């Protein structure tokens, strides 16, 4: 940077911006020029000639670039330059960049990361009233003016402990982000596939191997002119949807590909996110962008109904990804339809899918994503129906991992033994949890908790450096904790079971309306951007809670799960219940659906999860409500604590969110 004039550097940055699909402007180039001038002056004044500087550092997960990363000999400064903005949103943006490096950049884990907002609307630099006592992880964001940047750098150097930070080594350290579903979808759709996603979390090679196995199966089907169903199995949060999106939006898009799901909220959220991103990248009308994305993200029921209509030919897609394929409807459910839409299908959904895709001359591929243990409704055909229809149609073969033959439930086995039409590929089973950003132990912990194995769950929790699951009996403390965890632009929200009917008595009656699901997942209340107002529909307003139907297949950075009375303790076991009229009734026939509901809800968090177990109604209260019995809730909370969940201590466990007024 020192070798080039600021104007030359700004020009190079503008050229790089254009390659990412964003139009450059004279104003942007002028802003880069001013930032480079300020940074060069600050480095000279702070004695940073030997430090390492990375400009426009690519943060793939966020689809953004940090304006500058300055590597001193003891700290990592992540700089975000704003011409005259020192708002909470600008601070959150700088902090989010720092959190991304802490979580996904191997060279950042052992050093303090300091987010810095350099704003032209701020005079100089005012050091914090009290220096940090502990310099590790991401510090609260700091603010200075361009003329105060050197003073800030000197303050960091005089205050932070020496950490022996090697700049060139940092630049070469692996950056392996795991994007969330919405982040991945927008990135893949915009870039026509991103190789880095297949290599994300390369230390967890499972994801890379599975992506490669899917691509190999597609290439072989195309080469040999055959039709194949590729089953991708895996535990919750292991990256099945990520692999499916990669298959649809990558190189296969040229052949015609679509991601099909019966999850209406997932369709709504992804379509809205892709359309917003397309408008932000290239401008134009949002309606046009929505028309484009609707071809890529489709409702599976509508796809099958259109394909089953009289006279329908082969679809334009050669490849479809069938999300949550184990939840495809059986024939009875397909014929019955829904309350709002009568059925028009005559076979099971797996049978229709293979019939429609089988109309292609030559090759076709169905990638079937199987979410083990996530069946949450009746009428779901299971893997056995897929096996039945493949066996009945000689045009089709299948590729899958051994897991498809090993389930205890016959409904979830593709076949009783390996049939001749099935090829085994071990790489198609995702067993490494990726949703949890820093601690992958949560998925195993949830399995142990729901299996009633308190001792096993406690061992898992004790083995974590800082187990990220908390329990509280106070909803106000839960909301405060979620706001504290919402650093940077992390998304937080409340979850609840659809069967938790008596949460109304605890003051949490609202569920997210279907028409607000996209706004709940995508809009902001805590840190709105630009001139946007705080949106009370947003998840981080912490008013409405998403049920398992609204959040399955999606995720939040931090979740607050309201535990309802539909899954309680009894005789040392979990007991499922359903609320009817004025009382709870034992749920025996469909108890496993209730357990699966809580499996879904407990595995939605990428970072921390806070479980709220209501205090309930004490039995000695003159107005005791037996539908919210306090002793029943006490038993749930006690069991979760015995399993290793941490009692929520807002003051000790949670970071405070930084606001501009506390920093200036």
CATH number of 205-262+298-430: 3.40.50
What would the mean pLDDT of 121-134 be, rounded to a whole number?
Answer: 84
User: What's residue 382's pLDDT?
Assistant: 85
Residues 487, 558: Cα–Cα separation, whole Å: 10
The percent helix, strand, coil of the chain (3-state, each to 5) is: 45, 20, 40
Write down how long the chain is.
Answer: 664
| Pairing status of strand 567-570 against strand 573-580 | antiparallel
The C-alpha torsion from 152 through 158 and 162 to 167, rounded to 10°, is 30
**Which residues, 6+ apart, have CB-to-CB distance to 466 below 8 Å?**
439
Q: Which of 211, 216, 180, 219 is nearest to 195 (CA)?
A: 211
The pTM of the full predicted model, rounded to 2 decimals, is: 0.80
User: What's residue 201's pLDDT?
Assistant: 45
What would the mean pLDDT of 189-216 be, rounded to a whole number?
Answer: 65
In three-state form (DSSP H/G/I as H, E/B as E, the rest C), the secondary structure along 221-276 is HHHHCCEEEEEEEECCCCCHHHHHHHHHHCHHHHHCEEEEECCHHHHHHHHHHHHH
Question: Among the residues of 1-148, which ranges form H helices?
Answer: 6-19, 26-45, 88-104
Burial 343-373 (b: 16+ CB within 10 A, else e): bebebbbbbbbbbbbeebeebbbbbbbbbbb
Q: For 347-440, list the strands marked E by DSSP.
A: 364-371, 396-400, 422-424, 429-430
Listed range (50-54, 149-153, 456-460) with the worst mean pLDDT: 50-54
Which residues lie across from 229 on neighbouring strands?
A: 366, 398
Residues 102, 116: Cα–Cα separation, whole Å: 15
What would the mean pLDDT of 108-122 be, rounded to a whole number?
Answer: 91
C-beta of residue 613 within 8 angstroms of C-beta of residue 563: yes
In the DSSP assignment, the letter for residue 126 is -
C-beta of residue 512 within 8 angstroms of C-beta of residue 461: no
Q: Which of 270, 321, 300, 293 is nearest to 554 (CA)?
A: 270
Confidence of residue 437 (pLDDT cuts 50, 70, 90): low
Residue the block writes with tokens 């960049």: 97
Which residues lie across from 526 on neighbouring strands?
A: none
Domain ranges of the chain: 6-175, 205-262+298-430, 442-653
Pairwise pLDDT comparison (34 vs 368), residue with the higher score: 368
Residues 3, 83: Cα–Cα separation, whole Å: 25
Residue the block writes with tokens 């720092």: 98
Whole-Å CA distances, 254 to 74, 129, 193, 293, 514: 48, 58, 11, 15, 33
Instruction: Please provide the average confidence, as pLDDT, over all residues in the chain.
Output: 86
End-to-end CA distance of the chain: 30
Residues 430, 414: Cα–Cα separation, whole Å: 17
Q: What are phi and psi of 151, to 5 degrees?
A: -65, -40
User: What's residue 527's pLDDT?
Assistant: 81
Predicted confidence (pLDDT) at residue 25 exceeds the cutoff of 70: no
Residues 330, 378: Cα–Cα separation, whole Å: 9
Residues 337, 344: Cα–Cα separation, whole Å: 7
Q: In what order do the strands lie in the sheet with 492-496?
A: 545-546, 492-496, 558-562, 609-612, 469-472, 646-647
Residue 46's SS3 state is coil
Give the model confidence (pLDDT) of 373-388 as tens digits: 555 555 677 899 999 9
CATH number of 6-175: 3.40.1350
Confidence of residue 366 (pLDDT cuts 50, 70, 90): very high
| Pairing status of strand 113-119 against strand 76-82 | parallel
Predicted confidence (pLDDT) at residue 29 exceeds the cutoff of 70: no
C-beta of residue 264 within 8 angstroms of C-beta of residue 401: no
Confidence of residue 24 (pLDDT cuts 50, 70, 90): low
What would the mean pLDDT of 336-355 be, rounded to a whole number?
Answer: 84
Confidence of residue 205 (pLDDT cuts 50, 70, 90): low
User: What's residue 533's pLDDT?
Assistant: 83
**Which residues, 6+ apart, have CB-to-CB distance to 504 below 8 Å?**
none
Identify the sign of the CA torsion 407, 412, 415, 418: negative
Structure tokens at 376: 């949450």
**Which residues, 6+ apart, have CB-to-CB distance to 245 below 8 Å?**
181, 184, 185, 188, 259, 321
Which residues lie across from 65 on neighbouring strands?
A: 58
User: What's residue 343's pLDDT?
Assistant: 72
Predicted confidence (pLDDT) at residue 509 exceeds the cutoff of 80: no
C-beta of residue 435 within 8 angstroms of C-beta of residue 267: no
User: What's residue 1's pLDDT?
Assistant: 42
C-beta of residue 492 within 8 angstroms of C-beta of residue 543: no
Residue 131's SS3 state is coil
Residues 459, 454: Cα–Cα separation, whole Å: 9
Confidence of residue 661 (pLDDT cuts 50, 70, 90): very low
Q: CA angle, 481 as apex, 480 and 482 as ends, to 5°? A: 95
Structure tokens at 114: 């300091």
What would the mean pLDDT of 614-626 be, rounded to a whole number?
Answer: 92
What would the mean pLDDT of 283-296 be, rounded to a whole number?
Answer: 85
Residues 156, 51: Cα–Cα separation, whole Å: 14
Predicted confidence (pLDDT) at residue 116 exceeds the cutoff of 70: yes
77 burial via Cβ count (<10 Å: 0-12, 13-18, 19+): buried
**Which residues, 6+ apart, have CB-to-CB distance to 134 below 8 Å?**
none
Residue the block writes with tokens 């001038």: 37
Whole-Å CA distances, 69 to 113, 127, 178, 201, 620: 10, 20, 21, 22, 60
Q: Which of 591, 570, 579 is nearest to 635 (CA)?
A: 570
Answer yes or no: same fold for 6-175 and 205-262+298-430. Answer: no
Q: Which of 449, 376, 445, 372 is nearest to 596 (CA)?
A: 376
Q: Which of 55, 48, 49 is nearest to 6 (CA)?
A: 55
Pairwise pLDDT comparison (660 vs 298), residue with the higher score: 298
């Amino acid at each position: 940077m020192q070798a080039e004039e600021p104007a030359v550097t700004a020009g190079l940055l503008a050229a790089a911006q254009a390659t990412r699909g964003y139009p450059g402007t004279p104003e942007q180039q002028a802003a880069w020029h001013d930032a480079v001038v300020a940074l060069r002056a600050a480095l000279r004044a702070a004695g940073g000639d030997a430090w390492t500087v990375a400009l426009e550092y690519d943060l793939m997960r966020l689809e953004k670039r940090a304006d500058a990363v300055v590597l001193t000999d003891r700290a990592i400064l992540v700089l975000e330059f704003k011409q005259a903005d020192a708002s909470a949103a600008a601070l959150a943006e700088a902090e989010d960049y720092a959190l991304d490096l802490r979580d996904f950049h191997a060279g950042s884990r052992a050093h303090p990361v300091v987010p810095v907002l350099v704003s032209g609307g701020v005079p100089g630099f005012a050091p914090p009233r009290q220096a940090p006592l502990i310099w590790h992880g991401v510090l609260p964001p700091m603010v200075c003016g361009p003329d105060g940047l050197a003073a800030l750098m000197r303050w960091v150097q005089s205050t932070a402990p020496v950490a022996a930070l090697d700049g060139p080594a940092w630049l070469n350290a692996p950056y392996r982000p795991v994007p969330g579903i919405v982040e991945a979808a927008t990135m893949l759709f915009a870039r026509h596939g991103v190789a880095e996603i297949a290599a994300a979390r390369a230390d967890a090679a499972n994801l890379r191997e599975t992506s490669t196995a899917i691509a190999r199966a597609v290439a072989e089907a195309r080469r040999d002119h055959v039709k194949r169903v590729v089953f991708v199995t895996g535990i919750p949060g292991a990256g099945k949807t990520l692999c499916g999106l990669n298959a649809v939006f990558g190189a296969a898009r040229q052949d015609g590909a679509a991601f099909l799901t019966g999850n209406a909220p997932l369709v709504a959220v992804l379509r809205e996110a892709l359309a917003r991103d397309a408008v932000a990248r290239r401008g134009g009308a949002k309606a046009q962008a929505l028309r484009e994305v609707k071809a890529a993200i489709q409702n599976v029921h509508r796809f099958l109904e259109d394909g089953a209509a009289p006279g329908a030919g082969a679809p334009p897609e050669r490849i479809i990804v069938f999300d949550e394929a184990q939840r495809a409807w059986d024939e009875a459910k397909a014929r019955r339809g829904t309350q709002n839409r009568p059925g028009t299908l005559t076979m099971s959904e797996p049978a229709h899918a293979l019939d429609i895709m089988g109309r292609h001359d030559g090759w076709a591929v169905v990638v079937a994503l199987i979410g083990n243990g996530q069946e949450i409704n009746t009428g779901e055909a299971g893997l056995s129906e897929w096996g039945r229809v493949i066996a009945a149609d000689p045009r089709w073969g299948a590729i899958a991992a051994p897991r498809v033959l090993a389930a205890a439930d016959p409904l979830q086995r593709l076949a009783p033994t390996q049939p001749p039409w099935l090829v085994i590929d071990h790489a198609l089973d995702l067993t490494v949890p990726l949703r949890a950003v820093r601690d992958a132990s949560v998925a195993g912990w949830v399995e142990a908790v729901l299996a009633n194995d308190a001792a096993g769950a406690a061992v898992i929790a004790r083995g974590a450096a800082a187990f990220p699951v908390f329990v509280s009996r106070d909803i106000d403390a839960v909301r405060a904790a979620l706001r504290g965890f919402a650093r940077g632009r992390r998304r937080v929200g409340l979850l609840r079971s659809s069967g938790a009917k008596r949460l109304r008595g605890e003051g949490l009656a609202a569920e997210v309306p279907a028409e607000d699901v996209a706004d709940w997942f995508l809009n902001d209340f805590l840190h709105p951007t630009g001139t946007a107002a705080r949106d009370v529909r947003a998840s981080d307003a912490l008013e409405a809670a998403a049920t398992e139907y609204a959040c399955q297949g999606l995720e939040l950075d931090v979740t607050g799960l309201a535990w309802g009375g539909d899954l309680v303790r009894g005789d040392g076991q979990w007991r499922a219940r359903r609320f009817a009229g004025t009382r709870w009734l034992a749920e025996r026939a469909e108890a496993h659906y209730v357990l699966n509901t809580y499996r879904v809800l407990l595995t939605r968090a990428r970072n921390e999860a806070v479980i709220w177990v209501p205090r309930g109604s004490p039995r000695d209260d003159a107005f005791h409500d037996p539908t919210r019995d306090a002793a029943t809730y006490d038993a749930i909370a006690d069991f979760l604590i015995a399993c290793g969940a941490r009692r929520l201590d807002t003051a000790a466990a949670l970071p405070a969110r930084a606001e501009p007024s506390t920093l200036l």
